[in-house]
Amino acid sequence: MADTKALYQEVILDHNRKPRNYGRLDHPSHKAEGHNPLCGDHLALALDLQGERIAGIAFEGESCAICKASASMMTATVKGKTREDAETLIREFREMATGELDCGSYPHHLGRLTVFAGVRDLPTRVKCAILPWHTLRAAIHSQASTSTESEADPMHAPIGDA
């Protein structure tokens, strides 16, 4: 049984209520839109990549609390980091959410993002947590849009319908 009480922790509820970096950038260098057609989650992500560094990042959209909090905490975490750091975090977050990475036993860089570890027990909610990261990866690689249902997408989570 999933410990959903642990998933809806105050930090997640707080980021849902007051999302950080919510809005638009004046002059984004990279953009992507993320969409989960199964539940209607939708977010637009804008990046200001200066060289290898993420100087600015912002998102907006309509989504559930898990998705919005994940996006908010993601933007707060990757702001100021390099593209390579972001790629590492994207990979680690996905592995944590799908249960491939045991955060307790293996070294990682996720920090407070481990509050999302509980989604691994809620297969229908994994995509909600991953969507912002999915979208960040698309933005870094300058794809115009991405979807949790895109078969070819390397971030496609191996789970059933939401």
Partner 1 sequence: MTASPSPRRLAPAPALDVERIRADFPILRLKVGGKPLVYLDNAASSQMPQQVIDRLLRYQTSQHANIHRAVHMLSEIATAEYEEARRKIARFVNAREDREVIFTSGTTEAINLVMHGYGRKFLGAGDEIILTTLEHHSNIVPWQMLCEEKGARIRVVPINDAGELLIDEYEKLFNERTKFVGVMQVSNALGTVNPVKSMIAFAHARGVPVLIDGAQAAPHMNIDVQDLDCDFYALSGHKLCGPTGIGILYGKAALLERMQPFKGGGDMILSVSFEKTVYNTVPQKFEAGTPPIAAAIGLGAAIDYLSEIGMGAIAAHENALLDYATAQLERMPGVCIIGTAADKAAVLSFALQGVHPHDAGTLLNQEGVAVRTGHHCAQPVMQRFRIPATSRASFAFYNSMAEVDALVAGIRTVQKVFA
C-alpha 157: how far from chain center: 13
Among 11, 76, 122, 159, binds partner 1 (CB under 8 A): 122
Query: Position of tokens 């959903």?
Result: 4
Range in contact with partner 1 (rule: CB under 8 A) among 46-54, 96-104, 109-117, 124-132: 124-132
> Rounded to whole angstroms, how far apart are CA atoms 77 and 91?
14
Site for partner 1 in 92-121 (CB under 8 A): none
Write the interaction track for partner 1 spanning residues 28-57; mark x where CB under 8 A is met and - where it is not: ----------xxxx----------------
Does 27 contact partner 1 by CB under 8 A? no
> Rounded to whole angstroms, how far apart are CA atoms 142 and 140?
5
C-alpha 57: how far from chain center: 13
Site for partner 1 in 56-85 (CB under 8 A): 62-66
Contact 41, 67 (CB under 8 A): yes
The nearest distance, CB 2 to partner 1, in angstroms, is: 8
